[in-house]
C-alpha cells in the first residue's frame, strides 16, 4: 500500500472553493473534525498550507479554480477527488448551506465513499488552452448575433426593414439604410460588428490550423456532412481520450443527450434530456443535426433517421428528431474516431436494399 493511500485513510479534507477565499475542514480517521480554516485563493496560500502537510485525501468541487487547485495538490502528493456538483444535492439543496458546512460535507462524503462524489478528471493544460480558442470564437459569435439582432429590432421600430444578407456582409449592406437620427447609436455598433467578424474569421483560421497540425483525427469526423472544423475540434478536445468510453453509445449519455429517468413502481414517465454533459459541445451537435435535417443536408442514414422521427407529427416531433439525431451523431463521431473507418453516408440503406435481379 502506498504512502498516499495510507495517509488518506487517516485524514480526509474537504475544501469549498470560492473566488477569493476557500474554507476547508480536516477529519481524522474516526471522522472527528480536527481543524477548520480559511485560505486565500492563491497558489502561495495553498502551497504554504498543504506542502508540508501529511498526504491526505482531499475533496473539492469542480469549478473555475478547480483545475489549478487539483494540479497543485496532486503535485504536492495528495489524493485529490474533484466532485461532480450534479451528484452533491445533499450540499446545495440543504437548508443549512454555508461555506464551512459545505467543506465538512465534502470531507465526510469523501471519507465514506469517494464514488458518491462521481469524481471527474480535468483535461490537460494544453487541451484546455486549445479548447479556449473554440470557446472564445463561440463567445464572439454570440456577441455579434446579439448586436445584429439589436440593430434589426431598433430599425424596425423606425419602419425600416432590412434586406436579407449574411452576417459577414451585414455592416456594409445596412449602413446606408440607417436613418439620420439613429446613426449616432447604430453606426458604432455596425463598426463593432465588422471588427467582431474579422476576429471570428481569425479564430476560425486558428481552429483550422490546430485541426491540421495537432489534431489530425478531426479529419475523420469531418467526413460527415454538417460537421465542420469547430464541431470536430470541440468534440475531440472535450472527450480528449476516446478509449475511456467502453462503447460509443455511452458518449450520448455523457453529453447529456439521453432522457432523464424517474421510474417509481409502475410509473415510468417520458422526460426531457438530462443536459448533464458539456453544454457547448451539445449545442454544436444540435446545430449539426439541424443542418442535416435542413434544405442543405445531404441524403444519408442520419438524415433519414431524423426525418422518420420528425414525420411522426406533433408539436415536438421536429425537436425530438433533432435531439435524437444529435445523440446518434455523437455516437457515430466517436466510432469514426476510434476505428478510423471511412464514413459511408448510406451504409445502412445500401445494406438493407433488396438485391437487383438481372433480367435475362
pLDDT at residue 33, as a whole number = 94
The three cell numbers of residue 259 are 432522457
pLDDT at residue 5, as a whole number = 45
In contact, 189 and 218? CB cutoff 8 Å: no
In contact, 83 and 119? CB cutoff 8 Å: yes
For the chain, the 3-state helix, strand and coil shares in percent, each to the nearest 5, are: 55, 10, 35
Are 232 and 359 in the same domain?
yes
pTM score: 0.83
pLDDT at residue 7, as a whole number = 42
Domain end point (choices 68, 83, 117):
117
pLDDT at residue 3, as a whole number = 46
pLDDT band at 2 (very low <50, low <70, confident <90, very high): very low
348 or 304, which is more confident: 304
228 has pLDDT over 90: yes
Segments in 214-276 forming alpha helices (H): 218-221, 229-239, 249-254
Are 233 and 327 in the same domain?
yes
Are 198 and 240 in the same domain?
no
Are 192 and 207 in the same domain?
yes
The number of folded domains in the chain is 3
Mean pLDDT, residues 142-153 taken together: 95
Domain range enclosing 96: 3-117
Q: State the chain's mean pLDDT as an integer.
A: 88
Domain end point (choices 214, 231, 266):
214
Choose the weakest-confidence range: 38-47, 185-194, 223-232, 309-318: 309-318
148 or 96, which is more confident: 148
Amino acid at each position: 500500500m502506498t504512502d498516499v493511500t495510507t495517509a488518506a485513510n487517516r485524514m480526509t479534507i474537504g475544501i469549498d472553493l470560492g473566488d477569493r477565499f476557500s474554507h476547508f475542514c480536516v477529519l481524522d480517521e474516526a471522522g472527528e473534525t480536527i481543524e477548520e480554516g480559511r485560505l486565500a485563493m492563491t497558489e502561495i496560500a495553498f502551497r504554504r498550507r498543504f506542502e508540508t502537510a501529511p498526504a491526505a485525501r482531499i475533496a473539492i468541487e469542480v469549478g473555475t479554480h478547480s483545475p489549478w487547485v487539483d494540479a497543485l495538490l496532486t503535485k504536492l502528493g495528495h489524493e485529490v477527488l474533484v466532485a461532480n456538483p450534479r451528484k452533491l444535492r445533499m450540499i446545495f439543496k440543504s437548508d443549512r448551506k454555508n461555506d464551512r458546512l459545505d467543506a465538512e460535507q465534502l470531507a465526510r462524503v469523501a471519507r465514506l465513499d469517494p464514488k458518491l462524489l462521481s469524481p471527474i478528471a480535468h483535461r490537460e493544460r494544453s487541451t484546455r488552452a486549445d479548447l479556449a480558442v473554440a470557446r472564445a470564437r463561440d463567445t464572439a459569435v454570440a456577441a455579434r448575433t446579439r448586436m445584429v439582432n439589436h440593430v434589426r429590432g431598433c430599425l424596425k421600430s423606425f419602419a425600416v426593414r432590412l434586406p436579407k444578407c449574411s452576417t459577414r456582409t451585414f455592416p456594409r449592406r445596412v449602413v446606408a439604410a440607417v436613418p439620420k437620427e439613429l446613426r449616432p447609436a447604430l453606426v458604432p455598433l455596425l463598426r463593432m460588428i465588422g471588427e467582431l467578424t474579422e476576429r471570428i474569421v481569425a479564430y476560425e483560421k486558428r481552429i483550422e490550423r490546430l485541426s491540421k497540425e495537432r489534431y489530425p483525427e478531426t479529419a475523420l469526423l469531418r467526413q460527415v456532412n454538417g460537421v465542420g472544423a469547430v464541431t470536430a475540434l470541440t468534440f475531440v478536445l472535450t472527450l480528449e481520450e476516446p478509449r475511456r468510453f467502453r462503447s460509443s453509445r455511452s458518449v450520448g449519455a455523457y453529453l447529456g443527450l439521453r432522457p432523464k429517468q424517474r421510474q417509481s413502481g409502475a410509473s415510468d414517465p417520458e422526460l426531457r434530456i438530462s443536459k448533464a454533459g458539456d453544454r457547448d459541445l451539445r449545442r454544436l451537435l444540435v446545430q449539426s443535426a439541424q443542418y442535416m435535417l435542413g434544405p442543405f443536408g445531404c441524403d444519408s442514414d442520419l438524415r433519414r433517421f431524423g426525418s422518420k422521427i420528425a414525420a411522426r407529427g406533433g408539436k415536438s416531433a421536429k425537436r425530438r428528431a433533432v435531439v435524437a439525431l444529435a445523440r446518434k451523431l455523437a455516437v457515430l463521431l466517436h466510432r469514426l474516431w476510434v476505428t478510423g473507418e471511412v464514413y459511408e453516408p448510406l451504409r445502412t440503406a445500401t445494406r438493407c436494399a433488396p438485391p437487383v435481379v438481372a433480367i435475362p
